[in-house]
Amino acid sequence: MKANIGKPAPDFTAQATSGNQVDFSALKGQNIVLYFYPKDNTPGCTSEGQSFKALHEQFEAANTRVFGISRDTLESHELFKNQYQLPFDLIADTEGQLCELFDVLRARRAEQETPLIERSTFLIDREGVLQHEWRRVHIKHHVEDVLQAAQALSDMIEPVIRPDTEED
């Protein structure tokens, strides 16, 4: 099952930094940002990671967890995360299974054998439904746009309404 806006996001389990295993079904109850990026320690990917880091507390305040995803190894992710002190986990999709589910692999040239990740971000609501996607991302102001969308989802949480109690 591929990811489609307005539909439940594909279920997955993946290995992430800090020895964590990310089980998508266990994340329900909070919004999820999955941002796919081409490669650790490249200028654009570093800038994007630092932008998510700079707004991390605001994402948390909007009940939103952030995960970065690339095809790099866990070892590469650990070094990247530690070097830039990223406060969120990075998922190692070395086989490209998540990339396939979210349709983010693109060949840059016809003769290219291994497709690369097209920088893309997905916002999934607390019920597990894909609400927004950004493809062919340009980093400038992108993370702010994602945060605004996450905050809008967070604002949609309905308050608990208690039934009126009847007095005798």
Q: Model confidence at 126, in pLDDT bands (50, 70, 90)?
A: very high
List the 64-70 sheet strands across, edge first. 89-92, 64-70, 31-36, 120-124, 130-134
Q: What is the pLDDT of residue 162?
A: 44
- Region for 6 from its dihedrals, namely left if φ exceeds 0, alpha if ψ lies in -120 to 50, beta otherwise: left
3-state secondary structure of 64: strand
**86-90, 92-96, 132-136, 158-162: which range is least confident on average?**
158-162
* Among 8-22, 50-64, 151-165, the least confident range: 151-165
Q: Is 25 exposed, middle or buried (0-12, 13-18, 19+ CB in 10 A)?
A: exposed
Pairwise pLDDT comparison (62 vs 155), residue with the higher score: 62
Given 16, 22, 34, 45, the catalytic residue: 45
pTM: 0.88
Question: Could you say which DSSP state residue 113 is in?
Answer: S
The domains of the chain, with CATH numbers, are 13-155 (3.40.30.10)
Q: How far apart are CA 30 and CA 32, in angstroms?
A: 6
Answer for the pair 124, 34: CB distance below 8 angstroms, yes or no. yes
Residue 97: C-alpha distances to residues 12, 14, 146 (Å):
9, 9, 24
Active site residue 45: yes
Mean pLDDT across the chain: 89
Residue 157's CB is within 10 A of a number of other CB atoms, namely: 12
Rounded to the nearest 5 percent, the helix, strand and coil shares of the chain are 30, 25, 45
The pLDDT of residue 155? 77
Contact 131, 5 (CB under 8 A): yes
- Write out the two tokens for 96: 């490209």
Smallest CA-to-CA distance from 101 within 93, 91, 113 is with: 93
Structure tokens at 152: 């809008």
Write the pLDDT tens digit of every residue in 26-46: 998 999 999 999 999 999 999
pLDDT value at residue 154: 82
Q: Is the pLDDT of residue 160 over 80?
A: no
Would you state the structure tokens that stand for residue 127, as one six-digit string?
């019920």
